[in-house]
Amino acid sequence: MDIAHLHFLVAHADPHERRALAALLAQIGACRVSEVRDGPSVLEALAAGSTFTPPIDIAIVDLDLPGADSLDLLRHLGKTGCGARLIVSGSQSSDLLFSIETLAQAYGVELLGTLGHPITAVTLKPLLANYTPLARRVHAGQVQRFGFDDVERGLQQSQFEPFFQPKIELATGDVKGLEVFARWRHPEHGVLGPAAFMDALQEHGRINLLDWAMIEQAVARSRWLQDIGLPIPISLNTAPETLLDPAFVPKLVACLAQHDVAPDQITFEMPESATLNTDPDFIERLVRLRMLGIGLAIDDYGTGRSNLQLLARIPFTELKIDRSFVDGASKLRPLSTVLRSCLTLAHSLERQSVAVGVETRQDWDFLQSLGCTYAQGYHIANPMEATAFPPWLADWRQFF
């Protein structure tokens, strides 16, 4: 990796160690290295509006800095935000350094990894190879949100439509499914994502309006795909309260019959928190869906409080591992440990595993090496309108 364009910060209390590390960076190609000796200087160097020009890209920070406890330092960087990627070094044991990685991840600090002493070119280069510039964060206030009346009107006027993101079998590269994402084709503001309309629906308890709009349109698109020779199963995110409606199953069966779509072409995804629901009506509804041949997926796995006993009683067919444990798992041990655990769980329960949020080729290759069944994410494709899928598929098949 060419690091000549990057600005490094070396933070160490010992001036000899600072100079040695700066010299090592220069030896492997760094042209711009700044040095600081204590915790407060690190915070000043990495703060927004820092006087360091250009801004720091990678900071190599020793755990034993004077003036700030290393854990306090990580917590502060997590709260205030940090425009640099961090490498934490220390003389502590590998187990403790692993815990430091876990803590940094919990605080939201962008960590390239940890290094024991002494730091050498052999140990440093693999972490530098993990570097990618941080994406610019979009503040929540910049997202345009609409009131319920506007959203309801848009639904009544059929302005909402399903977009589809492919689900790929890692072993073969074959497209094995399409997940539905709701999009609002607003007449004035263009195509809008869930941030624009989900809050309004949830606050008024009418998420079912969107769910049914997506179900009816997605089933119709499924029929269209089959008619053009692409019988690819479709999965939909559906709120538990929608599933609990006594009319849900009869209405769904009628919709499938109207479009001549087999039940095994449809999978419903529900959040992991839904597994905590012990309502017998809810569990019965899930069992009825499975008896019809419809698939069930646990979505965002790893973010809730479910356990093996709760998961075992839900007749799900797929375990969808949350993107927070997938993106970057090839680089960070805490993420890879959780990811391996999720894949082992899916395998032990004889369920298919789906990794969501595959953003890079590294993530793809790592998941393949772990034996994950399916992958989904921007590395493969963005969600797209139905008519864009056939040409995308032709390109994908040519690639593989």
- What average pLDDT does the segment 168-173 reach? 96
Would you place residue 137 in the very low, low, confident or very high pLDDT band (cuts 50, 70, 90)? very low
Stretch(es) of the chain classified as CATH 3.20.20.450: 145-399
Give Cβ neighbours of residue 40 (< 8 Å, ≥ 6 apart): 67, 68
- The C-alpha atoms of residue 248 and residue 287 are separated, in whole angstroms, by 13
Strands 85-90 and 32-36: unpaired
Q: Quote the pTM value.
A: 0.75
CA atoms within 13 A on the CB side of 14: 8
CATH of the structural domain 7-128, one choice from 3.40.47.10, 3.40.50.2300, 1.10.510.10, 1.10.10.10: 3.40.50.2300
Residues of the chain with CATH 3.40.50.2300: 7-128
> What is the pLDDT at residue 142?
54
For position 48, what pLDDT does the model report?
65
Looking at per-residue confidence, does 217 or 103 come out higher?
Answer: 217
Rounded Cα–Cα distance for residues 113 and 332 (Å)? 6
pLDDT > 90? residue 1: no
pLDDT one-digit tens code per residue, 96-123: 888 888 888 788 888 888 899 899 999 9
pLDDT at position 162 is 97
Tell me if residue 104 falls in helix, strand or coil: helix
Q: What is the DSSP letter of 273?
A: G
Pick the most confident of 16-30, 273-287, 307-321.
16-30
Name the fold adopted by 145-399.
TIM Barrel (3.20.20)
pLDDT of residue 84: 87
Give tens-digit pLDDT for 138-160. 333 456 889 999 999 999 999 99
Q: Cα separation of 158 and 153, whole Å?
A: 9
